[in-house]
Amino acid sequence: MPFPFRNSPEPGLVSIVIPCYNAECFLAEALESALGQTYRNIEVIVVDDGSTDNSAEIIRSYNGRLKAQFGPNRGASAARNLGTELARGEFIQYFDADDLLTADAIERRIAALRESAADVAYSDWQMLVEIEPGVFALDAPTKSFRGRRMEDVHPNPEIAVLTYFWAPINALTYRRSIVDKIGGWKEWLPVMEDARFLQDAAMVGGRFVYSPGLGAIYRQHRGTRNSGRSDYMLYVFRNACDLQTGFETRGRMNAEVRHAFAGIYDSAARFLFFLDEAAFRDCVARLYEVEPEFRPSWPKIARLASVLIGFKAAGGLLAARTRLRAGLRRSRKRVKHI
């Protein structure tokens, strides 16, 4: 279903949509990096998602320089959807309230979009990792940028975004037309929603162009890494199920796409075994449904063990097996250094 935009797009205008929830420590710096773009034809839209700190006061202090919307806490995806409805731009730049854009990021990406007639432009990015409370440092100081070109992952964007290509939302600029085709952010998905939006762009036929150079700085907070959530892989699995339905509906489930989904289900099953028995069994069933000849793997061993000795006993056995293998790898590394 097309996204319910309220306005016709204004040619050349870039709408920067920023959801905000309790980001007072970083918000002013983020807003200045958005407002300070060398590409001047912009509007900045901030949706405060029920903040309980001083974020709302900071937003109001920019009166006249940005559009602001205040409401109850409904999640980042709902805030982005509201911001997109309010947007007037031909281009949409999503941007989190604790991240940064380099000064010429939008200018370079818009130039790339115009020159190539692509739907999504992406640039290189850096990650700042919180090493202690309130202190951030580059996660890989010896490397200038993170990220890779999509075609280096796979020539087909659909396969690339299902496997190993990802970029934070502030490293991506979308044409409004492709956002309309996507139909909005998935509000039922509380994690990896940025990856899903990128996957949706590829699935609806989006064309991508690389804009060389650093364009985005992405901040990762301690204790908030998605992979650390106990339910993260459950949402990875649910997202894959929903995506698979979309590919099947569009008749796009070729052998390479099936193999990509098999890889996702294989990875998810390793975690779901210890988290959710029903989801694990469903995940394994989907794995061998999309790729019946999938090589013998951990999920296959886990499923067999659960049948032979029971699910709970198999969980303990396989957890011990995982710890043993990890210990052996550490031992091998120590031996190599002697």
Taking only the tens place, the pLDDT of each residue in 274-308 is 788 899 889 989 998 999 987 756 555 555 555 54
Residue 329: what pLDDT? 47
pTM for the model stands at 0.85
- Residues 235-246 have a mean pLDDT of 96
| Residue 4 in domain | no
What is the average per-residue pLDDT within 216-223? 84
Examine the pLDDT at 69 and tell me if it is beyond 90. Answer: yes
The CATH number of whichever domain residue 186 belongs to comes to 3.90.550.10
Considering the domain architecture, whether residues 213 and 303 belong to the same structural domain is answered as no
DSSP per position, 96-158: -TT-EE-TTHHHHHHHHHHHHT-SEEEEEEEEEEEEETTEEEES-TT-S-B---HHHH-SSHH
Dist. CA 44–CA 42, nearest whole Å: 7
Same domain membership, residue 83 and residue 217 = yes
Domain endpoint, select from 197, 224, 251: 224
End of a domain among 224, 256, 276? 224
On whether the CB atoms of residues 171 and 122 are closer than 8 A, the answer is yes
User: Same domain for 86 and 147?
Assistant: yes
CB atoms within 10 A of CB 319: 12
Q: Do 78 and 206 fall into the same domain? A: yes
- Around Cβ 157, how many Cβ atoms within 10 Å? 23
Kindly state the average pLDDT of the residues 238-255: 95
List own/partner pairs for 250-259 with CB under 8 A and 24 or more apart: 250/203, 252/158, 252/203, 253/290, 256/156, 256/159, 257/158, 257/159, 257/162, 258/290, 258/291, 259/291
Higher-scoring residue by pLDDT: 216, 141: 216
Same domain, 94 and 205: yes
Q: Do residues 122 and 108 make contact, with C-beta atoms less than 8 angstroms apart?
A: no
Strand 120-132 relative to strand 100-101: parallel, antiparallel, unpaired? unpaired
Kindly tell me if the per-residue pLDDT of 143 is higher than 70. Answer: no
The DSSP bridge partners found for residue 129 are: 137, 220
Same domain, 152 and 61: yes
State whether 280 and 147 are in the same domain: no
- Confidence at 225, pLDDT banded by 50, 70, 90: low
89-94 vs 10-20, strand pairing mode: parallel
Q: Above 80 in pLDDT, residue 324?
A: no
Query: How many residues in total does the chain contain?
Result: 338
Name the residue range of residue 71's domain.
Answer: 10-224
Same-domain status, 204 and 239:
no
Per-residue pLDDT at 141 exceeds 60: no
What digits encode the pLDDT tens for the residues 121-134? 999 999 888 888 87
